[in-house]
């Protein structure tokens, strides 16, 4: 059971790190834009930090439920990993939309 739990935590946190890096890279690509460039790095780091904190909390909450399926550790591993990847993917899409919205708002506020 411990092997499945540690594998789950490792793979889920690896997915979390990869998605967080993608958010930062999307923000760094926005820095080249003359309109949103100054705010892009700050917004990207802020959104990525929030995503990482919430995602890590979700991973550990799912890991805390592993003992409930102690009789079927492989099933717990796959169900937990699927749920974690699904939640991280939904959180990623929300984080990217938040990044775009904040950059749009910073551009609108700068123009007014």
Q: What is the pLDDT of residues 48-66, one digit of tens each?
A: 999 999 999 999 999 999 9
User: Where residue 90 falls among pLDDT bands split at 50, 70, 90?
Assistant: very high
Q: What is the pLDDT of residues 9-36, one digit of tens each?
A: 999 999 999 999 999 999 888 888 877 7
pTM value is 0.88
**Taken in order 48, 52, 53, 55, is the CA torsion positive or negative?**
positive
User: Where residue 110 falls among pLDDT bands split at 50, 70, 90?
Assistant: low
In the chain, what is the greatest distance between 2 CA atoms, to the nearest angstrom? Answer: 61
Task: Taking each helix axis as running N to C, give the angle between helix 2-30 and helix 37-64, from 0 to 180 degrees, rounded to the nearest 10.
Answer: 170
Task: Name the CA radius of gyration of the chain, rounded.
Answer: 17
């Amino acid at each position: 059971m411990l092997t499945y739990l540690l594998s789950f935590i490792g793979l889920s946190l690896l997915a979390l790190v990869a998605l967080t890096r993608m958010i930062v890279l999307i923000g760094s690509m926005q820095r080249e834009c003359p309109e949103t460039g100054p705010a892009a790095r700050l917004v990207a780091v802020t959104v990525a930090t929030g995503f990482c904190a919430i995602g890590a909390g979700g991973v550990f909450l799912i890991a805390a439920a592993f003992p409930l399926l102690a009789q079927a550790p492989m099933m717990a591993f796959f169900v937990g990993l699927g749920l974690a990847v699904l939640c991280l993917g939904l959180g990623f899409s929300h984080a990217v939309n938040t990044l775009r919205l904040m950059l749009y708002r910073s551009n609108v506020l700068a123009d007014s």
